[in-house]
Structure 1
Amino acid sequence: MTKSSKPASDVTTTHDLAPKGADQGISKGLTNYGDRGFSLFLRKAFIKGAGYSDATLDRPVVGIVNTGSAYNPCHGNAPQLIEAVKRGVMLAGGLPMDFPTISIHESFSAPTSMYLRNLMSMDTEEMIRAQPMDAVVLIGGCDKTVPAQLMGAASAGLPAIQLITGSMLTGSHRSERVGACTDCRRYWGKFRAEEIDAEEIADVNNQLVASVGTCSVMGTASTMACIAEALGMTVPGGASPPAVTADRIRVAEQTGTEAVRIARERLTIDKILTPAAFENAMRVLLAIGGSTNGIVHLAAIAGRMGLEIDLKALDHMGRDTPVLLDLKPSGDHYMEDFHHAGGMATLLRELKPLLNLDALTVTGRTLGEEIEAAGPGFAQTVVRTRDNPIYPQGGIAVLQGNLAPGGAIIKQSAADPRLMEHEGRAVVFENAEDLANRIDSDDLDVTADDILVLKNIGPKGAPGMPEAGYIPIPRKLARAGVKDIVRISDGRMSGTAFGTIVLHVTPESAVGGPLAFVRNGDRITLSVARRELRLHVSDEELAMRAAETPIVVPTADRGYRKLFLTTVTQADQGVDFDFLRAAHMLGKVPRADSDAD
């Protein structure tokens, strides 16, 4: 009998080709050819064409979601992160397999990145389901990518771990430190007010984004990075390292190593995304002065787990959760400063009495154990103590009233205190086009005491709920030195924005919410202290207006737009598709027995 000349590891037998552990490794989720043995045989034949051996294919498989794209500079370090994750996976004895999904960049997505978030979540979920993997590393950073990945992974149900791409470095303009995108908006406001000229706005445009990576302030990307770590979905310290640092690459390697462990232990995502974890994330959202978008995304992720975010309870929680993080737009610093101050460990240590310390993280340890492992901390000035906060309450307040029966929100930590108790005359714009046509007109009938109202920029109205809620100051007022004015809409605004701006008015105007029937000259009261948003128009008058101008809900004839308009939910349910939410809702968070009550 002649021995085979092939290495022992490459010898293939009939036994090797039989599906073994059909729910593990390369044998998982076999393509259906009617013969499971042949399905595995064919799969192995093709993957061996890439040079893999049988010994390699026996390892736990870790999928790595590759969201690199030339259109997405926020993910410009994806190739380096993927290589580091692969290194960590292989050092831990796993087989790394990267694969592409949709990549969404905030400023390169029409009509808005939010319109595509659910599509990315579906892509992520189905690719996780369709391809053999025992765990998945989700690489995301730009605003909608991290929530889309967490939504998709939550629905897929596998062990999953999030890797953040990291923030950009700050730049310098005429000796002033600048970073996207709060400073983008500040300088553009100066340009609109004719305080700076075309030459200077062109100069600062070259300095606002000093490297690849996400916005360097507490915008939505940084908010979701912090929330992902608070949920227990990243390795400790995973939120804050800038994109182009060695710290970020080391985090990526550690993420790969942890991915193999959670694959072996079958630490599925439902064990991490618990009600306790969502409560911790909500505390962090409030304490960092996080983006208002964080509420929408948390609601969507929670909905995939059968949970609902209780906005009233969130507001209650905010009354004893001060803003501690001194970052723009609520403070003065940038994400790299937060990282140098110890990152999330420093913040969580200060929040410790308010957190659910028994919540499990992807490391297999509890949040409390991870805080203890991070050590006692050190002197720094970026994260304040609870006795000396940036703002005495949480960054976000929830408003109720006849103008927003389903609620609305305001980022109170980034608003003008003088305007948070205000009554004014409504100056109404019917949609984004109407706003663009009239906001800069010298004939616009508006004063600094008025309230700007923008309709039809909600989930269905735009569609996609764009970040048009940051209504610009009318040019004639900007020229006169007005820096803030009360603004109300059913849309969103960037977490990098600032001002006295009421958002997410629910139900939206496009489906017949009261906002649809506001007219020029109506009186509106905003009282953040009373959490009130009131239109001084009787129910009878609103009913008469509704009868005079019946609402036609937007529709589409085909494609993704039809799917979106047919199934998208309102802001309080995360602007997710109704059929993607868990079939059975398990309860609300914060829970009735939590500190929020």
Structure 2
Amino acid sequence: MEENSEKKLRSSNWFGRSGKDGFIYRAWMKNQGIPDSEFNGKPVIGICNTWSELTPCNGHFRELAASVKKGILQAGGFPVEFPVMSLGETLMKPTAMLYRNLASMDVEESIRANPLDGVVLLCGCDKTTPSLVMGACSVDIPTIVVSGGPMLTGKYRGKNIGTSDVWRYHDDVREGKLQSSELRNIEAAMCRSDGHCAVMGTASSMACMVEALGITLPENAAIPAADARRKVLAQLSGQRIVEMVKEDLKPSDILTLKAFENAIKVNAAIGGSTNFVIHLLAIAGRVGVPLKLDDFNRLSKNIPLLANLQPSGKHFMEDLFYAGGLPAVLKELRGILHNECITVNGKTIEENYKNAENYDTDVIGSFDCPFNDATGLAVLHGNVCENGAVIKPSAASAHLMVHSGKAVVFENIEDYKARIDTDDLQVDANSILVLKNVGPKGYPGMPEVGNMGLPKKLLEKGVRDMVRISDGRMSGTGFGTVVLHVSPEAAMGGNFSVIQNGDVITLNVKERSLNIALTDEELELRKRNITLSSPLVDRGYVNLYINHVEQAHLGADMDFLKGKSGANVPRDSH
């Protein structure tokens, strides 16, 4: 983008005014000890901070924000830090996903209502990244993302551990192999530094997503939170956003269809979280890019897994950084990327990875020698999921990629918890576990319960994986042969809502299909005879959510938030 220093700053509509309005805008800001010279045409840069002690992954963001401020000041900008709703994946009930759209609205309106010329988004825990990007895209002023970075790799009794091990420890406790008291020691050993999950979970997948899209500086995705170079990146981002304002380089200039296609290819190669699908679709909907669920299949199908990272592999995000970070992965993918895509530093994605090197081929493979031939994502279709579902082949069991079995159905999460470990549950290793009513409307909020724990009596026999299907999500740290995001969800009355115990379901990942052995006539008859129930919420945001949230294959955004509305200055009230 060409520099346009003559362009009127958006903040001048506040601080550049004379008379009563200008007096009010400047006077109340001056009570913070700001000199008058700061209001003379400097770009005002907002630092959108999701710091919260209730969001442990983002607990170091006050310090990170200070580094961003240094950079803004060095470049001649006027930094202003502001808070927005912070979504902590580990603590929020019923699920942080319920509030992703609310947080995006908070971000959008906070930016639009205030005198900001550009914004730095401080993102970390899973939903903070998509919610901030969704909100900022809707306003479309110059924007740059700074992720908080992953934790240092956990260490316990000579072994590297991370969040993906939570599921293994949980099963060990249920089998009696591990005492609950020992888990308390493991907790501290696993979460031993600032940062989000140390594996390629959703938080790291989102950090890779924004770098692949081009809305962060290079190397953003993998620098550990505790590494001083994370602060350096934050400071450089503060410097760069001031220049972006001068160049008028906005998200709409960067987030093109080709940029989204790059992100999908990268996600497949790194074995990113299945949540990537639902968040990328939502972001695309905000900027008006015509991205569809089937695009993920088309773009991922022939891409093997290059990154040997948990949960699909054995290494951690810290190892990815030492091996060359995401730029090294991008360089391995150069033959299939849209290399001309522009990024926030004004350079193309190819220019950004040009000098990258792969320092550890056990962590980052190549197209010729991938870590796993299985791709990181597949979209399924069939009469179980009329509008689609997703699975992560790279984290699934090869022997279950083509599998038929009888359904063991749980009507909701309470039903599952009540019966999964009972002796009279009619289930064997060939069965397919089906969990209904955990979708966007049905729960509400679409929780991460899709990777259901296996029945205790099968665990005791050594069974470690089964086909599991739900209209919910799973944590990006999870693994197994798990089909997710079934659309339409059970609460909408589609075919998924009428699956019964004993129905034979066939999963064929190679053919990208998921079908139940019932005729269309039998399915329609069942649907005529069911009574749907949805959560009874008669007030507030949750009521708004239930009435307006779209299905998973559309990104689970609110129907009234599609498309950007711009940065028009609100009417004066003084």
Residues 68, 75 of structure 1: 8 Å contact kept: yes
Question: What CA distance in whole angstroms lies between the structure 1 residues aligned with 2:201 and 2:511?
Answer: 27
* Cα separation, 1, equivalents of 2:342 and 2:536: 43
**Residue type of the alignment partner of 2:9:** Q
Change (3 A) 1:583 1:88: closer
Bigger shift: 305-314 or 472-481?
305-314
For structure 1, the 5+ residue unaligned runs are: 1-20, 585-597
Other-structure match for 2:362: 381
| d(CA) in 1 for partners of 2:356, 2:89 | 36
Question: Which of residues 509, 519, 530 in structure 2 aligns to 1:538?
Answer: 519
What TM-score do you get using the length of structure 1 for normalisation? 0.91
* 1:144 aligned to which of 113, 119, 127: 127
After TM superposition, give the deviation of residue 447 of structure 1 in Å: 0.5
Distance across 2 between alignment mates of 1:195 and 1:389: 35
- Residue 286 (structure 1) aligns with: 268
Deviation at 1:512, TM superposition (A): 0.6
Please state how far the C-alpha of 1:378 moved relative to its aligned partner: 4.0
Compute the displacement of 1:313 (Å). 2.9
Query: After superposition, what is the alpha-carbon deviation per residue over 1:458-516, rounded to whole angstroms, capped at 9, x for unaligned?
Result: 00000000001011101111122110011000000001000000001110000112111
Decide whether the 8 Å contact of 1:419 with 1:500 is kept in 2.
yes
Task: Give matches, 1:285-434, under 5 Å.
Answer: 285-372=267-354, 374-434=355-415
Partner of 2:66: 83
Whether the aligned pair in 1 keeps the contact of 2:139 and 2:564 (CA below 8 Å) is no
1:443 aligns with 2:412: no
Q: Greater shift after overlay, 509-518 or 308-317?
A: 308-317
CA distance in 2, matches of 1:310, 1:129: 28
How far residue 537 of structure 1 moved from its aligned partner, in angstroms, is: 1.2
Residue type of the partner of 1:60?
Answer: P
Q: Give the Cα separation in 2 of the matches to 1:457 and 1:64.
A: 35
SS at match of 1:526: strand
Aligned residue in 2 for 1:4: none
CA contact (8 A) 2:15 2:26 kept: no
Secondary structure of the 1:498 match is coil
Distance 2:61 2:118 in 1: 19
Hey, what's the Cα distance between the residues in 2 that align with 1:183 and 1:496?
Answer: 8
**Structure 1 residue aligned with 2:25:** 43
Q: Secondary structure of the equivalent of 1:337? A: helix
TM-score, scaled to structure 2? 0.95
Q: Which residue, 270, 276, 285 being the options, matches 2:258?
A: 276
Distance 1:460 1:30, change over 3 A: farther
Report the AA paired with residue 85 of structure 2: I
2:541 alignment counterpart: 560
What does residue range 250-261 of structure 1 map to in structure 2 within 5 Å? 250-261=232-243
**Which whole-Å deviations, capped at 9, do the CAs of 1:143-190 have from their partners, x for residues lacking one?**
0000001100110111000000011112222211112x1011111121
SS at match of 1:243: coil
Offset of residue 203 of structure 1? 2.3
Q: 1:107 aligns to what SS in structure 2?
A: coil
Q: Is the 8 A contact 1:134 1:158 kept in 2?
A: yes
| Structure 2 spans left out of the alignment, 5+ residues | 1-5, 566-574
Query: Do the aligned residues in 2 keep the contact of 1:194 with 1:479 (CA within 8 Å)?
Result: no
Paired residue type of 1:407:
G
How many residues align? The count is: 559
Q: Secondary structure at the match of 2:189?
A: coil
- The reply on whether 1:124 has 2:107 as its aligned counterpart is yes
Letter of the 1:227 counterpart: M
CA RMSD, Structure 1 to Structure 2 (Å): 1.7
* Residues 433-470 of structure 1: per-residue CA shift (max 9 Å, x gap): 10111111122111111000000000000000000101
Deviation string 1:173-215 (CA, Å, 9 cap, x unpaired) is: 2211112x10111111211122222233232122121112100
Answer yes or no: is the 8 Å Cα contact 1:63–1:98 preserved in 2. Answer: yes
Q: Check 1:445–1:83 CA distance in 2 against 1; reply closer, same or farther (3 A cut).
A: same
Structure of higher CA gyration radius:
1
Amino acid at match of 1:277: A
Question: What amino acid maps onto 2:83 in structure 1?
Answer: P
- Aligned counterparts, 1:81-230, within 5 A: 81-179=64-162, 181-230=163-212
Kindly state the Cα deviation for residue 331 of structure 1 after the two structures are TM-superposed: 0.6
Whether the aligned pair in 1 keeps the contact of 2:380 and 2:390 (CA below 8 Å) is yes
Counterparts of 1:326 and 1:378, CA distance in 2: 14
